[in-house]
Structure 1
Amino acid sequence: MVVSLRSALLVCAAMSAGSVAPAQVGPDTDALLPAQTAVTSTDLAKQLLRESDQVAVPTVATTPVAEPAVAEPAAEEAGPSLDAKADLSTLVSQLRGTEPGSRQLECLAAGIYFESKGEPLAGQLAVGEVIANRAGSGRFPSSYCGVLLQRGQFSFVRGNSWPSISKGSAAWKTAVAIAKIVDRDLKDSGAATALFFHAKRVTPGWRKKRVASIGNHVFYR
C-alpha cells in the first residue's frame, strides 16, 4: 500500500486530536512510558513517510507495437527461358505442350496442325506465318480464329469447326510450339511476308508474287 504525504499528515492530525491527557491520573492508572520510548505523532508521521518511500511504485509494462507486416509483392511466374538466337528445333523443344494458353493460339495451332503436321518445322512455321500475316494485313479478319474460319479459305474447316485433334500427340504439341513461336515472332521461316500458299501437287495459276517454296508448299505474297 502506498501511503501519500497527505494521508500521513491526516493520520498525525487525528492522533494529535485523540491524545489529550485526562484531568487526573489516579493511583491505579498505568505508568506512562518513558520519554525516550514514547511514540509521538510526529515520529509516526516520519515513519509512515519513510515506509511510503520504500514502497515501489509498480510500473506498467508496455509492449512495443510492431509495424504491420508488408507482404512482399508476389514474383511473377517465370516462363521458360528462351534464347532468341537458338535454332528452330531448340525453340520447338522448349515450347512444346498440349495447351496453347488461349483460344486465339489454339486456332493458330489448329491451322498449323491440319495444314502442315507432316511438314518440316520450317514448313510448319511458314504456314503459321501466313495465318498471322493475314490477321495483321487489314485484308482479312483481324484474329487468328477469324482468319481460320473465313469461308472458303481452309479446306479442313467445316462451318465454324474442324475435326477433333489428338492433343496428346507429338504433332499437336509441335503445332502448339510453332504457334507460340509465330505469335512471339521468334523465328523467320523464309516466307515471312506470305499471305497465300498451296501444295506443290496443284497449280492454281495464281498471279501473285512467289516468295518461297518450303517442304511440300509454295508460298505467295
Structure 2
Amino acid sequence: MALFLKRASLASVAAGFLVLLYSAAGSGAAAQDKTQSSVQLQPSLSVFNEENTSDALIPAPQAPASLADLVAAEPEAASETSEDINCLAGAIYFEAGNEPLDGQLAVGRVIVNRTRSGRFPASYCGVVYQPSQFSFVRGHHMPAIRTESRKWQNALAIAHIAHDNRWKSSAEGALYFHAARLGSRWQDKVRVAQIENHIFYR
C-alpha cells in the first residue's frame, strides 16, 4: 500500500511538472506571436506618416499624348530664339506651314538631319540658304514672315521640337523631300514616307 502511494505521489509530481512545462512554452509562443504581429503592423503604420503622405499627393509628370499637345505646350518665345532656330522655323513655315504638324516636323527633321550628316552645311541657316535647295529662298533671303500668326508660332514650336528631337517623325532619317505632285522624282534614293503633299527620301 505504501508503495502504491509512493508511486501515485511521484506520478502526481511528474504530471505537475509537465503542466508547468507546457504552460511556459505556450506563453512563450503567444508572446512571440504578439511580437511578430506588432512587427508586421509597423510597416503599414509607416505609410501614414507625414513624409509618405505628402509624396503620394505629388502627381507624376505625364508625357504629351500627341504632337499637337507638345506644340500647344511650347512657350511663345520668338524674340528669344537664335538666328539658327529662326532659319529652321522659316523653312518649316514656307515649305510646310499648310501641312499637318507631322508633315511640318518631317520637314524640320530633314534640315536637322542634314546638319548632322557631314554632307551639308553644319548650321540650319547654312542648310536653308545653300544654293538651289529651297525654292522659297530668293537671293539668300527669306520672304517676310507674319510673326504674329498662328502658322509662325506652330513653325517655331516645331523647330524647337525638331531641334531637341522630342517627337519621332514619320519620316525619320530623311535627308530630302519634294512635292508629291512631282511624282517619284529620285530613283537613286530610298523613299522613307509620304506625308500629305510631300515625299521624303534618304
Same fold, TM-score > 0.5, yes or no: yes
Aligned counterparts, 1:20-169, within 5 A: 84-95=63-74, 97=76, 99=78, 101-169=81-149
Q: Is the 8 A contact 2:64 2:70 kept in 1?
A: no
Give the TM-score taking structure 1 as reference length.
Answer: 0.61
Q: In structure 2, how many angstroms separate the alpha carbons of the residues matched to 1:83 and 1:216?
A: 32
1:215 aligns with 2:196: yes
CA shift, 1:96, in A, is: 5.1
Q: In structure 2, how many angstroms separate the alpha carbons of the residues matched to 1:188 and 1:112?
A: 16
Q: Is the 8 A contact 1:98 1:168 kept in 2?
A: no
Q: In structure 2, how many angstroms separate the alpha carbons of the residues matched to 1:182 and 1:166?
A: 21
Q: In structure 2, how many angstroms separate the alpha carbons of the residues matched to 1:125 and 1:84?
A: 18
Residue identity opposite 1:211 in structure 2 = V
Which sections of structure 1, spanning at least 5 residues, go unmatched?
A: 1-81
Q: In structure 2, how many angstroms separate the alpha carbons of the residues matched to 1:130 and 1:83?
A: 28
1:175 aligns with 2:155: yes
> Measured at CA, do residues 102 and 214 of structure 1 come closer, stay the same or move farther in structure 2, by a change above 3 Å?
same
> Measured at CA, do residues 83 and 138 of structure 1 come closer, stay the same or move farther in structure 2, by a change above 3 Å?
farther
SS at match of 1:156: coil
Q: In structure 2, how many angstroms separate the alpha carbons of the residues matched to 1:183 and 1:205?
A: 28
CA-atom RMSD, angstroms? 1.5
What is the count of residue pairs matched by the alignment?
Answer: 140
CA shift, 1:195, in A, is: 0.3
Deviations 1:80-134 (A, max 9, x none): xx85554101010011525061111000000000000000000000000000000
Aligned residue for 1:193? 173
Q: In structure 1, how many angstroms separate the alpha carbons of the residues matched to 2:77 and 2:177?
A: 26
Deviations 1:25-77 (A, max 9, x none): xxxxxxxxxxxxxxxxxxxxxxxxxxxxxxxxxxxxxxxxxxxxxxxxxxxxx
> Measured at CA, do residues 188 and 113 of structure 1 come closer, stay the same or move farther in structure 2, by a change above 3 Å?
same
Query: Where in structure 1 do 4 or more consecutive aligned residues deviate above 2 Å?
Result: 82-86
- Structure holding more helix per residue: 2
CA shift, 1:160, in A, is: 1.4
Q: In structure 2, how many angstroms separate the alpha carbons of the residues matched to 1:83 and 1:175?
A: 24
Residue identity opposite 1:149 in structure 2 = Y
SS at match of 1:219: strand
Deviations 1:7-26 (A, max 9, x none): xxxxxxxxxxxxxxxxxxxx
Give the TM-score taking structure 2 as reference length.
Answer: 0.66
SS at match of 2:182: coil
Which sections of structure 2, spanning at least 5 residues, go unmatched?
A: 1-60
Identity score, percent: 51
Q: Is the 8 A contact 1:116 1:124 kept in 2?
A: yes
